[in-house]
């Protein structure tokens, strides 16, 4: 108790926070929660904490703050969803394309040569990424699924580190009727998720969605018939 009172007195003439105070501040119904499950600390409280509903933690809850070092294909796994959902992971790859809220990256060369797993992944940065195609990056973040897309949420300072620039991007997989099979299962493209692919020509079969994606078939493949409300 003495220590607590002494600390408060010393703060009377000083700012009791690491650099910028948390904004917005807490209320009687909210709490300041350290990001990434309590693992993130940049010595800036406004960056390190998020305001939300109180979620008490105690010593019985363990959370490793050391990321799992994995290849992109290991993060993707051989199924529709990542086997590391919710885990802190780290990996490396070459940026192949950028979006307004992240970028795609892929393992150099032929990846792990496992036809069942994708060698590409989307890195969600929330804001426009500061990388371009051909940049070799080291990434750490939380493995998640977003609308059936495996991604690494790398939204905190230091999550994306540039290793080198001007690298050749991995070659594109040429789409064939065997890969893009009209009678195939819905998961037939999972081994190529977020990877570079190529087709000389495609026919669109649905409007562009809110993510800028277009459902297509190869030229010469019959367009699917579907009823309203039924996904292609």
Q: Return the pLDDT at 62.
A: 61
Express as a percent the part of the chain with pLDDT over 70.
Answer: 79
Tokens at residue 201, please? 């020509």
Most confident of 34-43, 95-104, 172-181: 95-104
User: Is 67 a residue whose pLDDT tops 80?
Assistant: yes
Least confident range of 61-70, 110-119, 176-185: 61-70
Least confident range of 37-41, 66-70, 137-141, 174-178: 37-41
Q: Return the pLDDT at 1.
A: 34
Q: Tell me how far apart the alpha carbons of residues 52 and 58 are, in angstroms, rounded to a whole number.
A: 18
Cα 104 to chain centroid, rounded? 9
Q: What is the mean pLDDT of residues 92-98?
A: 97
CB 66 within 8 A of CB 80: no
Tokens at residue 93, please? 């790859």
Q: Return the pLDDT at 17.
A: 57
Q: Tell me how far apart the alpha carbons of residues 116 and 114 are, in angstroms, rounded to a whole number.
A: 5
Least confident range of 54-63, 76-85, 111-120, 208-217: 54-63
Q: Tell me how far apart the alpha carbons of residues 102 and 123 are, in angstroms, rounded to a whole number.
A: 5
Contacts of 21 (CB under 8 A, 6+ apart): 15, 45, 46
- pTM for this predicted structure: 0.77
The residue behind tokens 């309203």 is: 228
User: Is 113 a residue whose pLDDT tops 50?
Assistant: yes
CB 154 within 8 A of CB 125: yes
Residue-wise burial string across 191-210, b where 16 or more C-beta atoms lie within 10 A, e elsewhere: bbbbbbeebeeeeebeeeee
Q: What is the mean pLDDT of residues 26-46?
A: 71
Nearest to 49 by CA among 64, 59, 38, 57: 38
pLDDT: which is higher, 204 or 98: 98
- Please state the length of the chain: 232
Query: For 167, which DSSP code?
Result: P
Strand partners, 124: 102, 153
Q: Return the pLDDT at 137.
A: 98
pLDDT band at 4 (very low <50, low <70, confident <90, very high): very low
Q: Return the pLDDT at 187.
A: 87
Q: How many beta carbons lie within 10 A of that of residue 14, not counting itself? A: 7
Per-residue pLDDT of 157-199, as tens digits, reads 999 999 999 999 999 999 998 898 878 888 899 999 999 999 9
CB 91 within 8 A of CB 75: yes
Give the HSE-up count for residue 97: Cα atoms under 13 Å, Cβ half-sphere: 10
């Amino acid at each position: 108790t003495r220590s607590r009172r002494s600390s408060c007195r010393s703060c009377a003439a000083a700012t009791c926070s690491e650099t910028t105070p948390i904004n917005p501040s807490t209320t009687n119904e909210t709490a300041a929660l350290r990001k990434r499950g309590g693992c993130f600390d940049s010595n800036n409280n406004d960056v390190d904490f998020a305001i939300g509903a109180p979620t008490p933690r105690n010593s019985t809850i363990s959370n490793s703050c050391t990321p799992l070092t994995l290849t992109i294909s290991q993060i993707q796994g051989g199924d529709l969803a990542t086997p590391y959902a919710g885990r802190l992971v780290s990996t490396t790859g070459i940026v192949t394309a950028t979006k307004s809220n992240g970028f795609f990256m892929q393992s150099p060369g032929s990846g792990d040569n496992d036809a069942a797993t994708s060698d590409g992944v989307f890195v969600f940065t929330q804001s426009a990424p500061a990388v371009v195609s051909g940049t070799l990056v080291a990434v750490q973040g939380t493995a998640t699924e977003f609308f059936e897309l495996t991604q690494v949420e790398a939204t905190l300072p230091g999550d994306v580190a540039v290793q080198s620039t001007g690298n050749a991007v991995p070659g594109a997989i040429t789409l064939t009727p065997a890969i893009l099979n009209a009678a195939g299962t819905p998961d037939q493209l999972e081994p190529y998720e977020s990877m570079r692919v190529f087709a000389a020509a495609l026919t669109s079969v649905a409007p562009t969605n809110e993510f800028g994606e277009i459902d297509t078939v190869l030229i010469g493949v019959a367009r699917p018939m579907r009823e309203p409300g039924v996904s292609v």
